[in-house]
Amino acid sequence: MGKEKVKNQLLVIFGASGDLTYRKLVPALYDLYKQDALPENFAILGVARSSFTDESFREKMEDGIRHFASKREEATVEDIEAFNKKLFYLSINTDEAGDYAILKKKLDELSEELNTGKNYIFYLSTPPALYPLVPKYLAEQGLNDEGDGFKRIIIEKPFGTDLKSAIALNKSLLEDYEEEQIYRIDHYLGKETVQNMLVTRFANGIYEPLWNRNYIHHIEITAAENIGVENRGSYYDNSGAMRDMVQNHLLQLLALVAMEPPMAIDADAIRNEKMKVFQALRPLTQDDLKVNIIRGQYTEAHVRGKLLPAYRDEKGVDANSRTETYVAMKVFIDNWRWAGVPFYIRTGKRLPIRASEVVIHFRPTPQSLFIDNDEFRNDGNRLILRIQPDEGILLKTGMKVPGRGYQVKEVNMDFHYNQLHNTYLPEAYERLLLDCMIGDQTLYIRGDALEQAWKFVQPILDYWGENEDVPLYGYPSGSWGPSVADDLIEGAAMTWRYPCKNLSDDGIYCEL
């Protein structure tokens, strides 16, 4: 990524007093600074209602860098001082249209003083109620006009809470901005291992010929978390796992696994192919809604000697809440490549470990020549694309056990990113922020695809909303979720892969 491509610019963060700025955005910007990836003239203006001075904002951000930046350990006082000089703060009422004249004036002054030009990125890390308002108020000040420099908006999730609100938000943004100015973030796309899915598929001649219904039996996509809702109970209770994880992160992973090869690695080509996957998702029938979507909620349990509270006892959560903290579902993609291949998707909080991965289950060999032994079931090779932690790839393959006869054993062929010495794995926000600075939308969600993903999920939300008696299964914290989820997977011996913390340790021992 050549530095010359990044123009001088100013980044404005709305919601600058919040957690995301402190934990993720500013530490990521610091890491970019340390890699000399920021443009020559660059500044960050934090904007929020809270009253900070430049000084007190810098102090808070320094604390964030010291705790959360990847390059925190090597951060010298001089480094931080030099970076701090790029940080500024402005307190305004972000829901007051009139206050945006103050912002405009501040931006004029800063860009003049620091010679950043009139290239602005506006990052909305605010409560979602402000998503339509801030861009509108900016536009009223002419801050959407690209005549004197680019103007881009980054919007955090949740982009809408349902199909209707997502359409309305897109419509409102497009009144003042071009699609090319709108960057809808999904931080999963910033993960190095998620991008590697494209490379695995399209830089290797050996996988792609097998990547279809003729050779693949089914595909699993799991995003397991061991944390609960933490201090986000009041947000989460109005959201649930379907909105929080499936509509965005998991459907994005699905699109990357299932898409056709793009004509080029660029924003249009890749996003066109992803869109086609969303369009081909088979709409869920009443029967599918009843049988193929399972939801659960964590209950109180002792985990490693600690009593973890039930979801309903978490701060900010309704004591009778029926919000799902776990979802498992079976879906199909109706196109030539995937006809008849089930995709099993699963996510949950308070599961035994944090692990996200995609598992490709290849079909078994047509004849089971070596079935005659206990260790080998001939239920097909598996390719595991591990997104986190212990990022890597694992291929499960049958090998002959040395000695008499033909004893076969399943062994692992694996690659772990940590085997790449001296290679730095950037954080998702680093990659995404830099892409926006360069003007590359490839890893951001296009408006039409976002609506299409909502279109798929909406009937599930409606079904749950309209039918109070749809089961919500309790599962003890620290377990793998409701056991009924196992019944989703067809085939007598088939079940989910239960991943371990270490990618290749399954079947041997599991360190949780």
Catalytic residue positions? 249
Which residues contact residue 189 at a Cβ distance below 8 angstroms, ignoring those fewer than 6 apart? 195, 252, 428, 432, 443, 444, 445
Least gap, CB of 388 to ligand BG6 (angstroms): 6
Query: Which residue, among 427, 424, 443, 444, has the nearest Cα to 23 in the 3D structure?
Result: 427
Query: Which residue, among 63, 456, 400, 436, has the nearest Cα to 278 in the 3D structure?
Result: 456
Q: Provide the 3-class DSSP secondary structure of residue 472.
A: coil
Could you tell me how many residues make up the chain? 512
* Cβ proximity to ligand BG6, 225 vs 237, nearer residue: 225
Query: Do 361 and 396 touch, CB atoms closer than 8 A?
Result: no
* Cβ proximity to ligand BG6, 69 vs 107, nearer residue: 69
Least gap, CB of 104 to ligand BG6 (angstroms): 32
Structure tokens that stand for 189 in this block: 């796309």
* Cβ proximity to ligand BG6, 176 vs 237, nearer residue: 237
Query: Do 369 and 358 touch, CB atoms closer than 8 A?
Result: no
Outline where DSSP puts E strands in 57-164: 87-91, 120-124, 151-155
244 binds ligand BG6 (CB under 6 A): yes
192 binds ligand BG6 (CB under 6 A): no
Least gap, CB of 271 to ligand BG6 (angstroms): 20
Least gap, CB of 292 to ligand BG6 (angstroms): 23
Query: Do 87 and 58 touch, CB atoms closer than 8 A?
Result: yes
Query: Do 191 and 163 touch, CB atoms closer than 8 A?
Result: no
Least gap, CB of 425 to ligand BG6 (angstroms): 13
Least gap, CB of 351 to ligand BG6 (angstroms): 12
324 binds ligand BG6 (CB under 6 A): no
Structure tokens that stand for 478 in this block: 């620290």
**Span 156-175, contacts to ligand BG6 by CB under 6 A:** 157
**Span 119-158, contacts to ligand BG6 by CB under 6 A:** 157
**Span 351-390, contacts to ligand BG6 by CB under 6 A:** 356
* Cβ proximity to ligand BG6, 230 vs 268, nearer residue: 230
* Cβ proximity to ligand BG6, 157 vs 295, nearer residue: 157
Which residue is associated with the tokens 């006869």? Answer: 405
* Cβ proximity to ligand BG6, 26 vs 90, nearer residue: 26
Least gap, CB of 57 to ligand BG6 (angstroms): 25
Bond before 27 cis per omega within 30 degrees:
no
225 binds ligand BG6 (CB under 6 A): yes
* Cβ proximity to ligand BG6, 58 vs 157, nearer residue: 157
Query: Which residue, among 492, 65, 478, 54, has the nearest Cα to 308 in the 3D structure?
Result: 478
Structure tokens that stand for 290 in this block: 């009843």
Q: Taking the CA atoms of the chain, what radius of gyration do you get in angstroms?
A: 24
Least gap, CB of 264 to ligand BG6 (angstroms): 28
x-or-dash pattern for ligand BG6, window 327-356, by CB under 6 A? -----------------------------x
Structure tokens that stand for 65 in this block: 């860098």
Rounded to whole angstroms, what are the CA distances from 358 to 238, 386, 438, 499? 28, 7, 30, 11
Least gap, CB of 259 to ligand BG6 (angstroms): 21
CB atoms within 10 A of CB 135: 26
Query: Which residue, among 109, 108, 113, has the nearest Cα to 148 in the 3D structure?
Result: 108
Buried-exposed string 302-339: b where 16+ CB fall within 10 A, e elsewhere: eeeeeebbbbbebeebeeebebbbbbbbbbbbebebbe
CB atoms within 10 A of CB 384: 22
Q: Which residue is nearest to ligand BG6 (CB)?
A: 244
* Cβ proximity to ligand BG6, 192 vs 244, nearer residue: 244
How many CA atoms, within 13 angstroms, populate the side-chain half-sphere of residue 373?
Answer: 15
Q: How far apart are CA 250 and CA 160, in angstroms?
A: 17
Size of the site for ligand BG6 (CB under 6 A): 4
* Cβ proximity to ligand BG6, 176 vs 225, nearer residue: 225
Least gap, CB of 157 to ligand BG6 (angstroms): 6
* Cβ proximity to ligand BG6, 223 vs 360, nearer residue: 223
Q: Name the residues that contact ligand BG6, by CB under 6 A.
A: 157, 225, 244, 356
